[in-house]
Amino acid sequence: MAVAGELGVEVDIVLYMKEPPDAALLGRIADGLDGPVEDLVRKDSQFRKLELDPADYVGNADAVVELLARRKALLQRPVLVRGDLATGPLTACVGRPKDKLYEFLGGRT
């Protein structure tokens, strides 16, 4: 991740399409998210093709987790996470717009 390298921050990159988070991890990410939980969902052409309603996910962590557990391609990216993915609480941030990456990683905004 270019922003992390620019700031000198070491990161682990998870290729979520190869190693998708399960519902439990998605729930922990949603719980620690800095921002609306619906921001975790990409509202792209696939979302529209599935005829999903964005309003169904506003403030509804359970619906977001259930959707993303079934449709991993709808996970917004990048998602930055702090904490141990295996246990404990997490803090998370959707890296859009790009300025949020700097703020989350402790750099300039």
Q: Contact, 80 vs 93, CB < 8 A?
A: yes
Q: Look at residue 107 in the predicted model and tell me its pLDDT.
A: 62
Distance CA 44, CA 73 (A): 10
For residue 55, give the amino acid letter: A
Rg, C-alpha atoms of the chain: 14
For residue 77, give the amino acid letter: R
- Domains, the chain, in order of start with CATH, read 2-105 (3.40.30.10)
| 29-83: pLDDT as tens digits | 999 999 999 999 999 999 999 999 999 999 999 999 999 999 999 999 889 898 9
Q: Return mean pLDDT, the chain.
A: 89
pTM: 0.88
Residue the block writes with tokens 């990159």: 13
From the CB of residue 64, how many other CB atoms can be counted at a distance below 10 Å?
26
How would you class 81 by CB atoms within 10 Å of its CB: exposed for 0-12, middle for 13-18, buried for 19 or more?
A: buried
